Amino acid sequence: MNATLIPNRSRDVQVAEIGVNTLILRSRTWERLKFEIEYSRQRGTTANSFLIQADKKVLIDPPGESFTEIFLEQIAQHIDLTTLDYIVLGHVNPNRRATLKELLSLAPQVTLICSRPAANALKTAFPEWESHIQAVRSQDTLDLGQGHQLSFITVPTPRWADGLCTYDSATKILYTDKFFGAHICEDTLFDEDWKALDAERKYYFECLHAPQTKQVEVALDKLTVLGAKCYAPAHGPVVRYSLSRFTYDYRQWCQGQKSQELSVALLYASAYGNTAILANAIAQGLIENGINVESINCELTEPAEITRIVEACDGFIIGSPTLGGHAPTQVQTALGIVLSSAAKTKLAGVFGSYGWSGEAIDLLENKLKDANYRLGFETIRVRFSPTPFVLQQCQDAGASFAQNLKKTKKLRTSRQVVTETHVDRTEQAVGRIIGSLSVVTTRDRDHHKGILTSWISQATFNPPGIMIAIAQEQNADLMCHPGDKFVLNILKEGRNVRRYFSRQSSLGENPFAHLPTQTADNGCLILTEALAYLECTVQNQLQCGDRYLIYAVVDKGEVLEHEGVTAIEHRKSGSQY
Ligand SMILES: Cc1cc2nc3c(=O)[nH]c(=O)nc-3n(C[C@H](O)[C@H](O)[C@H](O)COP(=O)(O)O)c2cc1C
């Protein structure tokens, strides 16, 4: 974070002409406006509004409530509000509603123009405004006279589902709302010195757009065909001198994100914005640590798309508010998809905002733990709105999740790194089959034996049955005949129990002397440090090549540890263990 000297100036509204019949009203603050991560460079910001006065008069994007009073004072000097025809909203948030309320009381004749999702949100919050609200779609137009033909372009993203840009053909100004902005407050209106803006622009992109690059690219495709000569964003300088360079930067930054080696799916829903703020802070911690984040607003994303992202990601983090004692239905649906389609080796995380009981967060955490996912940070529970301290914690959690993910990845790839030059290609390919590392324990009266194997798989659902391939030299005659009993101990990753049973073991004949055990109902030993165990009875034996295939039915079993994942044997070649 960058602490910059803050000039001691009070808030004001700077007004200037930026095109024919077109004023900009920049509500300015030199201080950090809010504690959200995007303002942390502390260069102040501007909330830009625009007034086009042709035959019809339109105000685009009035500011949030931090500026309501000074903005209304200033705009009254440039227009009689009783003559205002339209207010166009690039997005709606609770903060902007305060100014809207005032405007509607001063200009009761006005029509509010916004996207359909914004119209729905406004109608729910203010049913009394219903007759004022007009929803528009892409390619809808509004003729203000004197050549000012406005076209609307919907640009939904996970963060602003209701995003709407507006293009004026008379001035060739594109009103880009959350695109192409920067949080910086200066007297300079335009971007003459655009090189000096690079750091602020990049930071703004990383905070707002890096977790939603896919949707940003779609928006760029829609916006660039318009041939605008000027971008008028919601924050920071108007873009006149660096328009093509800035557009190119956005493309490059999107590409940069997508080409990161590791990616995290960040799934959430947020009815009142608090969980979304937490999600943004976590995303920032991940992005700063070189992770590609794919934000999924569960309320806007189709199940098939969620499945695709969750299957492709290296880790996932899921967040929810608690409403009426539950997680919203869309979060429950997303959780179901995660549980059925995310590999258990993927790193997971849980967060959420709640008011008093927080059941949704408990539900998410318990379900993921029960399903054996490993959590990359301690679950984040936040009452109502987060404080700056909590946001820093979220950012730190994102950073430690990223580090955890990199460590896990390194472990897996280093195991799979192969000095492959001398190994036959077919053997290399066969060697990519992996199995759960397990110890089979058998018993001959008072004598117990343990055999390390990873040549194992589930063979049947009904009855639950497994298949093990055993070599002659493994001396496994006690588990080869129908009716023989054994216990399959499935080992846990990171706990080196295998060393007691490897052929090179220096621990002598009785590995069980060094390990805690219990006796199973079938008389064989359970390794209590295993992740889970299965008591089995052999049903069939088949001699194939240099192995016996043993099919056994599972009589009973138990998970011994709900945390942790199964140890897996990675091999260089299919010609050896
Ligand atoms: C209609 C409604 C129902 C709520 N029910 C619960 C609840 O059952 N338990 C709880 O802990 N909080 C409850 N809350 C509080 C919300 O979880 C809290 O406001 C949270 O910050 C909302 O997160 P969001 O801004 O991401 O939507 C409720 C809030 C509302 C408005």
> What CATH number is attached to the domain comprising 317?
3.40.50.360
Q: Are residues 407 and 455 in the same domain?
A: no
Cis status of the peptide bond prior to 211, with omega within 30 of 0: no
Give the C-alpha separation, 319 to 334, whole Å.
10
Closest CA to 64 of 92, 22, 41: 92
Q: Are residues 165 and 53 in the same domain?
A: yes
**To which residue do tokens 């919203």 refer?**
328
Any residues with CB less than 8 A from the CB of 572 and at least 6 apart, and which? 418, 419, 420, 423, 428, 431
Helices 243-258 and 213-224: crossing angle in degrees, nearest 10, is 150
Q: Are residues 390 and 338 in the same domain?
A: yes
Final residue of a structural domain among 415, 436, 468? 415
Residue 91 DSSP symbol: -
Question: 363 CA to middle of ligand 1, Å?
Answer: 15
Q: Are residues 315 and 244 in the same domain?
A: no
pLDDT of residue 480: 85
**Structural domain includes residue 423:** no
Give the C-alpha separation, 504 to 105, whole Å.
84
Q: Are residues 438 and 533 in the same domain?
A: yes
Give the C-alpha separation, 399 to 374, whole Å.
16
**Residue 71 beta carbon below 6 angstroms from any ligand 1 atom:** no
What sign does the dihedral 93-94-97-98 (CA atoms) show?
A: negative
Contacts for 76-81: CB closer than 8 Å, 24+ residues apart = 78/15, 78/23, 78/25, 78/51, 79/51, 79/53, 81/106, 81/107
Which residue, by CA, sits nearest to atom 12 of ligand 1?
355
Three-state secondary structure call for residue 188: coil
Query: Which tens digit of pLDDT belongs to each residue from 192-216?
Result: 999 999 999 999 999 999 999 999 9
Query: Which tens digit of pLDDT belongs to each residue from 72-123?
Result: 999 999 999 999 999 999 999 888 888 999 999 999 999 999 999 999 999 9
pLDDT of residue 498: 84
pLDDT of residue 576: 66
Three-state secondary structure call for residue 534: strand
In 3-state terms the chain splits into helix, strand, coil percentages (rounded to 5) of 35, 30, 35
Q: Do residues 65 and 224 touch, judged by C-beta distance below 8 A?
A: no
Q: Are residues 218 and 283 in the same domain?
A: no
Most informative mutation of 280, 326, 350, 354 for ligand 1 (most atoms within 8 A of CB):
354
**Residue 357 beta carbon below 6 angstroms from any ligand 1 atom:** yes
Q: Are residues 57 and 30 in the same domain?
A: yes
**Structural domain includes residue 574:** no
**Residue 158 beta carbon below 6 angstroms from any ligand 1 atom:** no
Give the C-alpha separation, 528 to 560, whole Å.
7
**Structural domain includes residue 523:** yes
**Structural domain includes residue 1:** no
Taking CA atoms, 254 is separated from 23, 165, 216, 220, 293, in Å, by 32, 19, 8, 11, 11
Give the C-alpha separation, 509 to 501, whole Å.
9
- The per-residue DSSP string of 457-486 comes to EEEETTTTEEEEEEEGGG--GGGSSTT-EE
pTM: 0.70
Furthest CA-CA distance within the chain: 100
**Residue 513 beta carbon below 6 angstroms from any ligand 1 atom:** no
**Residue 94 beta carbon below 6 angstroms from any ligand 1 atom:** no
Which residue, by CA, sits nearest to atom 20 of ligand 1?
354
pLDDT of residue 43: 86
Q: Are residues 24 and 168 in the same domain?
A: yes
pLDDT of residue 413: 64
Enumerate residue ranges in the chain where pLDDT < 50. Answer: 1-5, 418-422, 506-507
Q: Are strands 12-19 and 22-29 parallel, antiparallel or unpaired?
A: antiparallel
**Structural domain includes residue 170:** yes
Give the C-alpha separation, 4 to 371, whole Å.
47
Final residue of a structural domain among 198, 230, 257? 257
Q: How many domains does the chain have?
A: 3
**Structural domain includes residue 538:** yes
Give the C-alpha separation, 30 to 43, whole Å.
7
Number of H helices, E strands in the chain: 12, 29
Any residues with CB less than 8 A from the CB of 508 and at least 6 apart, and which? none
**Structural domain includes residue 7:** no
Q: Are residues 158 and 266 in the same domain?
A: no
Q: Do residues 63 and 27 touch, judged by C-beta distance below 8 A?
A: yes
Q: Do residues 385 and 415 touch, judged by C-beta distance below 8 A?
A: no
CATH number at residue 123: 3.60.15.10
Q: Are residues 20 and 75 in the same domain?
A: yes
pLDDT of residue 528: 94
Q: Write out the residue range of the structural domain in which residue 360 sits.
A: 262-415
Give the C-alpha separation, 54 to 50, whole Å.
13
CATH number at residue 546: 2.30.110.10
What's the Rg (C-alpha) of the chain?
31
Final residue of a structural domain among 257, 276, 305? 257
Question: 491 CA to middle of ligand 1, Å?
Answer: 41
**Structural domain includes residue 577:** no
**Residue 574 beta carbon below 6 angstroms from any ligand 1 atom:** no
Atom of ligand 1 nearest to the CA of 358: 11
Question: 323 CA to middle of ligand 1, Å?
Answer: 5
Q: Do residues 99 and 64 touch, judged by C-beta distance below 8 A?
A: yes
Q: Are residues 208 and 312 in the same domain?
A: no
Q: Are residues 411 and 455 in the same domain?
A: no
Taking CA atoms, 9 is separated from 5, 57, 65, 187, in Å, by 12, 32, 19, 12
**Residue 145 beta carbon below 6 angstroms from any ligand 1 atom:** no
